[in-house]
Chain A
Amino acid sequence: MNDTSPMGVPATGLAQPAISARGLVKTFGKLRAVDGIDLDVPRGMIFAILGPNGAGKTTLMRMLATLSRPDAGSATVMGHDLVQAPHEVRAAIAMTGQFASLDEDLTGRENLVLLARLWGFRGRAAKARADDLLAAFGLSEAATKQVRDYSGGMRRRLDIAASLIVTPGVLFLDEPTTGLDPNARKDVWGMIRGLAEAGVTILLTTQYLEEADQLAARIAVIDHGRKIAEGTSRELKAATGSGFLHVALADVARLDQAATILERRLEHPVQRSAEGAELSVLAGTAKAANEALADLVAAGIELSDFSMGQPSLEEVFFALTGQPSLGESRKDDTP
């Protein structure tokens, strides 16, 4: 049951995916939180589940981590059946939940030693493993501080370290950077990349398009408990259409007017960036884009910038769901 080979080379069944799920369903009363999801995650990949709050991301992950029983469907994780062999699945995975799963009263080191002992390390070996992890995660100096005195970024690092006591086959990360400042977020991203390079399969959920774009080799987009698209970031963008025109206005007050002009000329819905002064629209050809820009100039609207390019993942999500933004939450994701 134990995988003792060097990092990155699974001992058995190289061809066997890390996660394979078919028709997973989880209902809470009338709500079908997860409504028939298939998933195949190859070994060693960073795979992102992208969706807004309440889409069913956390519920899906909790099922795969044996924390919640599926109502229908089946899945194997590292070759073990989720329902038939939950203990074997647990021996092959680690999960870092959305909320720090640490004991606040204990020190960082004690938290790790506790978990190391639960995994079966004895005495000195448990302490040595805890110290190695603290060093690797830049927490050596804070080792003897109580976790209640840790910053958000330090907690998240310790939480991820706690998932690596025994190198897992699959590491589940539920919204690993939610609530972190930009520096701490970059830190966590670096950490996730490092783990993937070391051969750990990583399944992460996120509501940040940038995060999925930056980290994941494949992305599954889910909404209302269903998978609505899956592919590489490039594939998802290509499916939406490649000829996107992005314009930035010098005068934000004329945004509405500019949007109307673009929509009339290009006959596609115009999206606005969350921060304001930017518009993007599917143009199809460079000629059509050119004409649209000429219309804006003719109307006396001054542009501070424009570009042609691939759609952002945000635009992809809009095209797939008809929803303007991922940022708007519908319902809390936790059951």
Chain B
Amino acid sequence: MIDTTSLQRLQRVARPRTPSALSNALVFGWRAVLKFKHVPEQLFDLVMTPIMFTLLFTFVFGGALAGSPGEYLQFFLPGILVQTVVFNAVYSGMGLSTDLGKGLFDRFRSLPIWSLSPFAGLMVGDILRHLIAASIILAIGLILGYRPEAGILGVLAAFAMLIAIGFGMGWVFIVLGLLIRTPTTVMTLGFTFLFPLVFASNIMVDPGTMPDWLRAFVEVNPVSLMTTALRGLMGGGATLSQVVLAMIAPVALTAILAPTTLWLYLRR
């Protein structure tokens, strides 16, 4: 099958001009796009849960919670977008853990490239995933009767914020992916940590009826802060302080966890 002459004929090639860090990162982003092409099933995982949540909460609980399904959808849809993005971050952690287990990253680490570029590429993939999933959920919302009162600009601002939230949360799972060898453990741990944050928030219901101690938590829960800001952006009437409060967690996570990621990666 292999003859040595074909190898000798193989042209000896010298290294071309060193590519920039940005170029390295974009190549890894291209890898993420190829993954969508070859494993389109992953989108199914990403959107099925939020679609089911939207339908279930709107039609089963909506009337009881907000008077009518239509009114509830108006309240719930921005929240389910936050939930979708937050949960999606778990999958990128799983993907990273799988890659690390297979030795693929050993190859990347032995290349003369910008050390963080594989992670930048993961982030590009994540952002694409967030955008695709959020668009599908929004489209279903629109079909069911959701109306973003702030119009197109409001929706664009909301999507920009979703990307920022996904970017910040992404680091949590990249760090977990680096620390934990088994992808399923990453998933279990991720959801254990995220469920209380997502459910003890103002995504599904107004915290007004909750006991004081729980309400105190819900009001400072970063997920609630994000949801409040997103509702404001899509429904109109967002204040600067709402947006700033929502961005505290993503900015802090990036500031702390990006250097942690680099340290963990180089130490391995």
Contacts and interface: CB of A to CB of B under 8 A. Distances in A.
The answer to whether A and B interact is yes
Contact of A119 (B8, B39, B111): B111
B4 A197 contact: yes
B103 A98 contact: yes
Contacts of A135: 6
Contacts of A199: 12
B2 A187 contact: yes
B102 A99 contact: yes
Contacts of B83: none
B19 A101 contact: no
Interface string A1-29: 01110110000000000000000000000
A253 B7 CA distance: 49
Interface in B88-119: 99, 102-113, 117
B31 interface: yes
Given A100-B103, A118-B27, A146-B38, A193 B15 contact: no
Interface string A282-321: 0000000000000000000000000000000000000000
Contacts of B104: 101-103
B22 to A, nearest CB: 12
B35 A97 contact: no
Q: How large is the interface on B (under 10, 10 to 19, 20 to 34, 35 or more residues)?
A: 35 or more
A167 B14 contact: yes
Nearest to A101: B107
A73 interface: no
Nearest to A105: B38
B214 to A, nearest CB: 43
Contact of A93 (B19, B23, B30, B110): B110
B208 interface: no
B4 A110 contact: no
A194 interface: yes
B105 to A, nearest CB: 8
Nearest to B16: A120
Contact of B2 (A66, A100, A120, A191): A191
A106 B102 CA distance: 14
Contact of B16 (A119, A197, A198): A119
A67 B4 contact: no
A246 to B, nearest CB: 33
Contacts of B110: 65-67, 90, 93-95
Given A114-B30, A137-B2, A187-B1, A105 B35 contact: yes
A87 interface: yes
B24 interface: yes
Contacts of B6: 135-136, 138, 194
Contacts of A164: 10
B106 A95 contact: yes
A132 B112 CA distance: 22
Given A97-B103, A114-B31, A120 B8 contact: no
B34 interface: yes
Contacts, number: 132
Contact of B34 (A102, A106, A120, A132): A106
A65 to B, nearest CB: 5
Given A91-B112, A95-B106, A125-B16, A132 B1 contact: no
A208 interface: no
A201 to B, nearest CB: 14
B182 to A, nearest CB: 16
A303 B12 CA distance: 54
A106 B4 CA distance: 27
A102 B108 CA distance: 10
A198 B12 CA distance: 9
A294 to B, nearest CB: 48
Q: Which of A102, A146, A166 is the most central at the interface, judged by chain B CB atoms within 10 Å of its CB?
A: A166
Contacts of B39: 105
A228 B38 CA distance: 49
Given A4-B14, A110-B34, A166-B14, A138 B2 contact: yes
B10 A132 contact: yes
Nearest to A106: B34
A157 interface: yes
A302 B9 CA distance: 54
Given A67-B109, A120-B16, A132-B11, A190 B2 contact: yes
A120 B106 contact: no
Nearest to B118: A118
Nearest to A138: B1
B3 interface: yes
B153 to A, nearest CB: 37
Interface of B: 1-19, 23-24, 27, 30-31, 34-35, 38-39, 99, 102-113, 117
21 contacts: A2-B14, A90-B111, A101-B105, A102-B107, A103-B99, A103-B104, A104-B102, A105-B34, A105-B38, A106-B31, A110-B34, A114-B27, A114-B31, A117-B27, A118-B108, A118-B113, A119-B16, A120-B19, A132-B11, A137-B2, A146-B38
Interface of A: 2-4, 6-7, 62, 65-67, 87-88, 90-91, 93-95, 97-107, 110, 114-115, 117-122, 125, 129, 132-133, 135-138, 146, 157, 162, 164-167, 187, 190-191, 193-195, 197-199
Given A107-B38, A114-B27, A118-B111, 15 more contacts: A4-B14, A65-B110, A95-B107, A98-B103, A102-B102, A106-B38, A118-B27, A118-B113, A120-B15, A133-B10, A135-B6, A137-B2, A190-B2, A191-B7, A198-B10
